Structure 1
């Protein structure tokens, strides 16, 4: 049995729905489908989720939102018209949308979650009607009926453990079970959503809970590329990779797969196949457990992230002071800041942070408190910081790998300010300036993926 998730671009309009119907017909093992809300139909279009956010904001301000609701209804109506569905289907969808402001919500955050979740819910309801109309027996599966329970964080919920017990006991109907992604229910019966892109999470939860043989995640790309196509022209596609390689690359900035979504699949050891709705016969990228995986290459992928900053400290005999690091972390904790990495020497220490957590005032406050707490000889905030992640299960077996990576960087004029190899030995982290990040990715990609006689000079 397969669980299949379709992203917003895969369900944006009637022609995309038709591709999804064909995909479901092509393999009867696809018995559980997870839907996203309709995405953009073309550049400049607006996602239905964004329209629902506008609707929620208008409701909170007690403003008339008739035009926004009409636009949302029209998105679903166009799909229903393409398939000639019974008008009763659209009547139910329209009525639920117009009745939303009359519902009772615990607070403004839960109102926002309740409005946003309708994008997935109504698309699942519509898809169920389309599948039945096209001769595929299908049943709508409301997350509450399936027992998908989540924590009490209305717009950033996490799945609760009892969900898997509920799914174990759930009796799946014949045919295809169509489940809206992105949301579940709290213990008090309120809708709460996962973080943005959370339909991936729902798919992985169902794949785990139903013990699927495979979790197919359909998007608008052919799989995972070895480097960002915006940085490297026509990069190679990754045919197979491990869970932890995917996690490392997602952390580094690969946007194909919601990085949290892989966690339920890891727990259930469910293989994941990332595929393209527009090219369903392409093999895509398989993401598999580490056990029995045999890497074919030293490096699987390279990615850069440019949203980091760093606090650099220097003090003689820093390594001799007990509790030095604890004092630093207590400052970060007081400000609600997490750190990413902390490379250190005997007299130096660097704290690498996600710069999106801070503003100028918070940076100054943190640096002032660190100065008062540990009295460093030198304390600097470095805002020009990028991290390059080089990832591959085959790295541990490759002698001289670091030299092979650093040599092309030197030739490309990239200064490396930090080198950190993960304990798993499947990733190497390099710190450099933001201006150098793309050159670094190109240089490393050339060294490992391009034959010598075809390589271009990196500028």
Structure 2
């Protein structure tokens, strides 16, 4: 049994629906289908999820909603019309949206979750109806029916352990089951979404639950590339990489696969294939527990911006038992998770996402650090990017760090921080955000481009 997940670009219009349906029908093992909401049809288009966010904002501002509501309805009308489906699915979509608005209009977080999830939910209904029109035994299956029971924190759902036993029963079902991605249902019966882009998470959970032989993630690229194709011409394709390598690359900005989507399949050792809906015969990229290593261990380079570092200095910090714990407790009490903690004997840096540290939070946290930890100096540095060099076995390979730092130096990129620690999978460089693209290009050239003879 295979689980196939189709992203927004794979379901953007009727033509893409037809391609996805052909892929599903080409392999009888593809019996569990997870769908995203319709994505962009062209560069200037708007994703359906963003249309739904606008609708939710109009509701919460008590403004007119007819225009934003019709914009969503028209996206589905266009798809339904192009597929030649009978009935009036788009009208049913409008009716469902109005029902959700009435139910949650006084509860902003619940309203946002319910409306955003509608993109996937209604798309799953359309896909099931289309497959039926082609003569397939197919049906829509809601996350609640499937057993996707999750925690009850809006926009931050986590799958509950008991969900997996319920999902496993789907193996006994006949025909093709189409399940909307991106959300589950709490024990209280509320729609709760995973983090944005979480249809990957849904697909991974379903694949782990049914112990699939393969989790196929269909998108709009032939494979995962070693670097962002917009930065490097004809970048190297990665035919195979490990779960750990994909996790590092996804964390650092590779948008082809959500970074939280790996945990469920890793636990069950379900292999992943990332493939192109527009070129389904292309081999794509396989993600597995292990891979053959050859040559320089670097397999990919990525960067992500939006980081802030809290830098502090205290003499003899290394001899103060519990200093690091007390520092992290301050962040925990302020509701802030940290990303990295490079340190020296008298100094430490805490790297956090910029979204957690606005000016008010910054002033409060710095004052707490001064008062509670008696540090000599503490300050915040903003506009940082993290550049990741990823590949299994890097720590045990001589010359990788030297090659990377030399490349950055020759490109004129100032390294603010280096962090590798005990990881054999990645090496991270902190650089000024404006230098991130230059850093990635210079590292790619050093690691992948052969010198002219």
Structure 1-normalised TM-score? 0.93
Tell me, yes or no, if structure 1 residue 119 matches structure 2 residue 96. Answer: no
Tell me, yes or no, if structure 1 residue 21 matches structure 2 residue 21. Answer: yes
- Partners of 2:435 and 2:93 lie apart in 1 by 50
- The answer to whether the Cα contact below 8 Å between 1:146 and 1:166 also exists between their aligned partners in 2 is yes
| Secondary structure in 2 matching 1:341 | coil
| Secondary structure in 2 matching 1:376 | coil
Structure 1 residues 419 and 212: alpha-carbon distance in aligned structure 2, compared to 1, 3 A threshold = same
Structure 1 residues 21 and 365: alpha-carbon distance in aligned structure 2, compared to 1, 3 A threshold = same
Among candidates 282, 296, 320, match of residue 294 of structure 2: 296
Structure 1 residues 137 and 367: alpha-carbon distance in aligned structure 2, compared to 1, 3 A threshold = same
Please state how far the C-alpha of 1:108 moved relative to its aligned partner.
2.8
Tell me, yes or no, if structure 1 residue 307 matches structure 2 residue 306. Answer: yes
Structure 1 gaps of 5+ residues are 455-459
Tell me, yes or no, if structure 1 residue 158 matches structure 2 residue 173. Answer: no
- The answer to whether the Cα contact below 8 Å between 2:312 and 2:347 also exists between their aligned partners in 1 is yes
Aligned position for 2:339: 340
- Partners of 2:364 and 2:428 lie apart in 1 by 28
Please state how far the C-alpha of 1:351 moved relative to its aligned partner.
1.9
Aligned position for 2:359: 360
- Partners of 2:312 and 2:362 lie apart in 1 by 15
- Partners of 1:378 and 1:153 lie apart in 2 by 37
Structure 1 residues 363 and 70: alpha-carbon distance in aligned structure 2, compared to 1, 3 A threshold = same
- Partners of 1:106 and 1:61 lie apart in 2 by 11
Tell me, yes or no, if structure 1 residue 285 matches structure 2 residue 285. Answer: yes
Aligned position for 1:369: 368
| Secondary structure in 2 matching 1:431 | strand
Please state how far the C-alpha of 1:313 moved relative to its aligned partner.
2.2
Aligned position for 2:238: 238
- Partners of 1:416 and 1:99 lie apart in 2 by 53
Aligned position for 1:265: 265
Please state how far the C-alpha of 1:170 moved relative to its aligned partner.
3.6
Please state how far the C-alpha of 1:196 moved relative to its aligned partner.
1.1
Aligned position for 2:394: 395
Structure 1 residues 400 and 167: alpha-carbon distance in aligned structure 2, compared to 1, 3 A threshold = same
- The answer to whether the Cα contact below 8 Å between 2:396 and 2:424 also exists between their aligned partners in 1 is no
- The answer to whether the Cα contact below 8 Å between 1:139 and 1:173 also exists between their aligned partners in 2 is no
Please state how far the C-alpha of 1:315 moved relative to its aligned partner.
2.9
Aligned position for 2:379: 380
Structure 1 residues 253 and 422: alpha-carbon distance in aligned structure 2, compared to 1, 3 A threshold = farther
Over aligned residue pairs, what C-alpha RMSD do you find?
A: 2.0
| Secondary structure in 1 matching 2:310 | strand
Please state how far the C-alpha of 1:61 moved relative to its aligned partner.
4.2
Structure 1 residues 136 and 363: alpha-carbon distance in aligned structure 2, compared to 1, 3 A threshold = same
Please state how far the C-alpha of 1:453 moved relative to its aligned partner.
0.8
| Secondary structure in 2 matching 1:255 | coil
Aligned position for 1:404: 403
- The answer to whether the Cα contact below 8 Å between 2:308 and 2:384 also exists between their aligned partners in 1 is yes
| Secondary structure in 2 matching 1:234 | coil
Structure 1 residues 61 and 348: alpha-carbon distance in aligned structure 2, compared to 1, 3 A threshold = closer
